[in-house]
A and B are shown apart, each in its own frame.
Chain A
Amino acid sequence: MGIIKRDLLLAIRRQSDVLTTLFFFIIVVSLFPLSVGPEMNMLRAMAPGVVWVAALLASMLSLNRMFSNDYSDGTLEQMLLSPQSLSLLVLGKAFAHWLVTGIPLVIMAPILGIQYDLPSEALLVLTITLLLGTPVLSLIGAIGAALTLGLRGGSVLVSLLVLPLYIPVLIFGAGAVEANMAGIGFEAHLSLLGAFLLVSLVLAPWATASSLRVSLE
């Protein structure tokens, strides 16, 4: 898909955007021990939630850029007028967004987990949940980004629209890690995350495409 290649190329030319998101993630996660104290048992208990909330916020931070640059230079108009299916183009863009913002978080998460003294198996589960969950964040976030295109205060609005919709992913993402640490099975959590991913793969690009058409009218 040409659009994925294009967005990756653009991301490489503007690496700072990718790095900002990643550093934001790292900083937010590092703030928690400073605010609640370095007591290891508590940190270990908090870790899954903290990492997941930080991942949510970090992916949210980059949502605005998903369409706004294309909107202001007119390439988004071209996409809307393309004979290719707009839903597929959107899917491509969401995938590129995930490669650029989601994957770095997935890679970074185990390292941050070590800071919180997570056992190695929990680190693995954390990474898997992020791998399954962050694409959902990009897909759902795309809807919010498309709806708020060109609006005053769009970036704050996006968080208002999108964060409540992220809650199931948060619950099962962090829940899987906690379940693993408590010695309960976490497979059910993972299959539910997988189900969310499938549902959002089917529905979100379509909703995003309609939103884009509404926003550009």
Chain B
Amino acid sequence: MTINWFKYSSPASFYSLAGKMIPIFAFASAALLVAGLYVGFFVAPTDFQQGEAYRIIFIHVPAAWMSMFLYVVMAFWAGIGLAFNTRLSSMFATAIAPTGAMFTFIALWTGALWGKPMWGTWWVWDARLTSELILLFLYIGFMSLQAAIDDPRRADKAGAIIALVGVVNIPIIYFSVQWWNTLHQGASVSINQAPSMASTMLLGMLIMVFASWMYSIAVILKRTRVIIIERESHTAWVTELQKKEFIR
């Protein structure tokens, strides 16, 4: 049996498909979240160096990973939308941005919370934190550019260009910040040195990463649905849909 994938690239059929998929991902996300937090807070052993404070990594690390992944995914879909003029992929990119920005913010926030017991201060100009902060700026730039443009087609394309420019720049920025960091404060505390991570710690972290993925997918699908309805409000199928909802 072959599945006609192109069928789902039309906003109308995607809308109903996404509607069916959202509960699945939402449930998976909630279940994994509970499991991951349980493992993280109750099963995983206390770290002999950092004490209990290290447990914030179960939120911090997945959030930091997601923030970076999502930017790349967003730029990918925006680029597809620009190259092939497919509306749905551009809507996808627009839907990803706020979730990505949220994870970036969480990563920064939890990073600061972790920094307090670790370094004795809320903020250090550590290479990772600084890069994460710049990533937040990039997300904000993307979202404000799209928000400033009234015509959705122009917003999609302009957003795509800035997202792609951002993706090209992220490695350069990361590398520059790293260089700057080593130059200025030679021996800062490196988070990298987690020599022997207990397997339960790793397990908790992995579960949390999956939970974040499921959450992101659910939220992004939901947001894409909203964008579809907003943009296609003048089309026949949306009017039809509204009638049905109304009768129900």
Q: Tell me the A residues contacting B by CB distance below 8 Å.
A: 143, 147-148, 151-154, 157, 160-161, 163-165, 167-168, 171-172, 175, 179, 196, 203, 207, 210-211, 214-215, 217
Provide the main secondary structure of the chain A interface. Answer: helix
- Check A148–B148 contact: CB distance below 8 A: yes
Contacts of B168-198 to chain A: CB distance below 8 A: 168-169, 172-173, 175-177, 179-180, 183
Given contacts A163-B137, A167-B173, contact A175 B180 (CB under 8 A): yes
Contacts of B119-149 to chain A: CB distance below 8 A: 134, 137-138, 140-141, 144-145, 148-149
Q: Report A-chain residues with C-beta under 8 Å of the C-beta of B165.
A: 143, 165, 207
Q: Report A-chain residues with C-beta under 8 Å of the C-beta of B141.
A: 160-161, 164
* Alpha-carbon separation in the docked complex, A210 to B154 (Å): 12
Among A157, A168, A171, the residue within 8 A (CB) of B148 is A157
Given contacts A160-B137, A175-B180, A211-B161, contact A148 B173 (CB under 8 A): no
- Check A160–B144 contact: CB distance below 8 A: yes
For A153, the closest partner residue in chain B by CB is: B148
Given contacts A157-B144, A161-B145, contact A168 B157 (CB under 8 A): no
Q: Tell me the B residues contacting A by CB distance below 8 Å.
A: 134, 137-138, 140-141, 144-145, 148-149, 153-154, 157-158, 161-162, 164-166, 168-169, 172-173, 175-177, 179-180, 183
Among B137, B154, B180, the residue within 8 A (CB) of A214 is B154
- Check B158–A147 contact: CB distance below 8 A: yes
* Alpha-carbon separation in the docked complex, A49 to B154 (Å): 37
- Check B158–A215 contact: CB distance below 8 A: yes
- Check A171–B149 contact: CB distance below 8 A: no
Given contacts A148-B148, A167-B134, A175-B183, contact A211 B177 (CB under 8 A): no
Q: Report A-chain residues with C-beta under 8 Å of the C-beta of B158.
A: 147, 211, 214-215
Q: Report A-chain residues with C-beta under 8 Å of the C-beta of B176.
A: 167-168, 171-172
- Check A161–B162 contact: CB distance below 8 A: yes
- Check A164–B138 contact: CB distance below 8 A: yes
- Check B161–A147 contact: CB distance below 8 A: yes
- Check A171–B169 contact: CB distance below 8 A: no
Q: Report B-chain residues with C-beta under 8 Å of the C-beta of A207.
A: 161, 164-165
A-B contact pairs, 26 of them (CB 8 A): A143-B165, A151-B149, A153-B148, A154-B148, A157-B144, A160-B140, A160-B141, A160-B144, A163-B137, A164-B134, A164-B137, A164-B173, A167-B134, A167-B173, A167-B177, A168-B172, A168-B175, A168-B176, A171-B177, A172-B179, A175-B179, A179-B183, A214-B158, A215-B158, A217-B154, A217-B157
A to B contact number (C-beta, < 8 Å): 72
For B133, the closest partner residue in chain A by CB is: A164
Q: Report A-chain residues with C-beta under 8 Å of the C-beta of B149.
A: 151
Among A147, A153, A154, A171, the residue within 8 A (CB) of B162 is A147
Q: Report B-chain residues with C-beta under 8 Å of the C-beta of A161.
A: 141, 145, 162
B81 to chain A, nearest CB (A): 12
Q: Report A-chain residues with C-beta under 8 Å of the C-beta of B172.
A: 168, 196
* Alpha-carbon separation in the docked complex, A160 to B244 (Å): 43
B160 to chain A, nearest CB (A): 9
* Alpha-carbon separation in the docked complex, A168 to B178 (Å): 11
Q: Report B-chain residues with C-beta under 8 Å of the C-beta of A153.
A: 148
* Alpha-carbon separation in the docked complex, A203 to B169 (Å): 11
Which of B140, B144, B161, B166 has the most chain A CB atoms closer than 10 A to its own CB?
B161
- Check B161–A148 contact: CB distance below 8 A: no
Among B145, B157, B168, the residue within 8 A (CB) of A203 is B168
- Check B145–A147 contact: CB distance below 8 A: yes
- Check A210–B173 contact: CB distance below 8 A: no
Q: Report B-chain residues with C-beta under 8 Å of the C-beta of A203.
A: 168
For B131, the closest partner residue in chain A by CB is: A167
Q: Report B-chain residues with C-beta under 8 Å of the C-beta of A151.
A: 148-149
* Alpha-carbon separation in the docked complex, A174 to B129 (Å): 21
* Alpha-carbon separation in the docked complex, A211 to B155 (Å): 11
- 6 pairs of A and B residues whose beta carbons are closest in the complex: A168-B176, A164-B137, A214-B157, A161-B141, A171-B176, A171-B180
